Structures are given as C-alpha cells and as structure tokens.
A = this chain, B = another copy of it.
Amino acid sequence: MVSIFKKEAAVMIDRRDMLALGTLGALALGTSSLADAASVTPDQVSLPFHGRQLHVLDLTHRLTRAFAFTPGRLSMEAVEGSGTKAGMALNRISIVEHTGTHLDAPRHFAPDGASVGDIAISQLIVPLVIIDIRKKAKADRDARVEPEDVAAWERKHGRIPAGSCVAMVSGWDPLGVVANYGSLSPDERRKSPGFDAAVMDILMKRNVIGIGVDTMSIDAGEAMPAFPVHQAWLRSGRWALEGLTNLDRAPVAGGLLFAGVAPLENATGMPARVIALY
C-alpha cells in the first residue's frame, strides 16, 4: 500500500481556507436565500433554525498526512470499482483508529467496554463545558486541568450539567509540535497538557459522559507511560475526544457538542467530525 498524500502539512492547512471556499463554498456563497441569511466562514456557519440563528463551529483538524506521527499510520490506495470505466474513483483507506481529531471509546482501555459502534446518538450530542487553562499552559508545558479549575468554572457558571462533555483548551498545537520536534529538548518532547487524574472522580460525580482535549492525549505528557486518566475514565464506560481545535472560539458554557463518528463495531476509536452548536 502506497501513501498518496502528496502535500506537506503547512501547505494543506493554508489550502484549507481556499478549498473550503472553492467549488462547494461557491454554492453556499451564491445568490441563494440561504447564503443571504447565513454567515459563512470555512470553520463556522450560522443558519436560521426555529426562529433564531444556529451557530455551528468545526472543532475538527483536517485529517492530513501530518497526523501520521508514525510511519504507515495513514495511507490510501486506489481500488477498482464497478464504475471505474464510467470514471469512478475510490480508495481503500488504512488508518490507525486514533489518528487526527478522534474519539476514544471505552474499549480503548476496557476489553469488554463499549466500542465506537455501541455508542448511541444520545451519548454523542451533549452539553459542552470548556475549561480554559491557556494561561498556565503557557508557563508549563505539562499543565493539568486540576480540581481548582473545575471549581472555578462552577463558581462562574453553576454546576457542570450531567451528561456533558468537559473539554480542556490549553492552546496546544499538535501539528506545530511535530513540525518543531527536532528543536525540542528531550524534556520538552515528553510534555503536553492534559487532565489531572484527581479530576476524574469529580467529573464522574457530576455524571459527565465525555472529556475532550486540544492535545493528542487526555493524559498529560509526563503521565503517559501509566495513562492514569485513560485508565480511570475509559474503564468507567465513558468516552474522550483528542485532537480538538477551535475550542478557544466556542462558548465556555451553554453550547452543545456533537461527536460525529461512524459507528464502527468493535472499534476502540475513530476519526471524527466534531462540532459545537450554540
């Protein structure tokens, strides 16, 4: 199987805005009544829904070769289909489940836990709570969401809603880290922000159903050999989202999150299209 991903990450990301406003973008930006009523950007759209504007924000990184942190993690090969002669093109994708913006199912750490295919829609569209630790993450590459951060959110916004997803925004840029990997010290390479294991009990008591991060792991970098947060959270039957983006632009309270994952049976994780609605 040969990788057909031909562009570098930086080029891809720049290309995104262009392409998003290309063929398909032109349709929505045309002279239609929807376009007249809607505010459209590549990552965000507002459209009329039941007498108000529904705002939708994409929390998903474009899934490019840049997320194949290890060789062979993501590749595609063209295959022939019944319509090849009629001009049809299609590919076989080979991908490790936990690539790009993705969901961790309980089965990732619990052998008998729910797989991605076992998670009902009622568990995938949930209230969104955002805990902002950008300030301390600037000073410490291994900053954690700690009990005090949860307490501070609740003092301001009230008790965390049951059934919600609690997402950490640390300002982390996973692709930037990969791009600059060579210039990092061994100590820096080991570090990335995450949830502190001490927060797990508090969130479980709130009946929180999911946690999310803008890094590639819910465990902070230095906690990873033992994965205490993965262990506690996923084995309790809950899910997690890793590699989220744009969390700084989503409302810290009052919004909803939808994790769009194809319900693949037996999968321990799955690349996703994740959105905030508000």
- A residues sitting closer than 8 Å to B (CB atoms) are 4-5, 7, 12, 16, 19-28, 30-35, 38, 40-45, 47, 49-50, 52, 54, 56-58, 60-65, 76, 79, 81-83, 86-98, 100-102, 106-109, 111, 113-114, 117-127, 161-164, 207, 209, 224-227, 230-231, 237-239, 256, 258-273, 275, 277
Contact = CB atoms under 8 A, between A and B. Distances in A.
Given A238-B27, A260-B258, A263-B273, A88 B19 contact: no
Contacts of A260: 258-262, 272-273, 275
Contact of A12 (B125, B265, B268): B265
A95 B31 CA distance: 39
Given A262-B272, A263-B63, A114 B5 contact: no
Contact of A86 (B120, B226, B238, B268): B226
Given A118-B22, A123-B25, A89 B109 contact: yes
B123 A28 contact: yes
Contacts of A20: 118-120, 122
A202 to B, nearest CB: 15
Given A58-B121, A117-B63, A92 B94 contact: yes
Number of copies: 2
A96 B90 CA distance: 8
Given A38-B163, A262-B271, 4 more contacts: A26-B237, A47-B127, A92-B94, A93-B267
A109 B93 contact: no
Contacts of A35: 162-163
B63 A237 contact: no
B127 A109 contact: no
A27 B209 contact: yes
B262 A120 contact: no
Nearest to A100: B262
Contact of A93 (B93, B114, B125): B93
Contacts of A31: 207
Given A94-B93, A268-B89, A44 B237 contact: no
Top 10 A-B pairs, shortest CB-CB distance: A260-B260, A32-B162, A20-B120, A23-B237, A262-B271, A45-B122, A34-B163, A58-B121, A19-B118, A260-B273
Contact of A44 (B89, B90, B121): B121
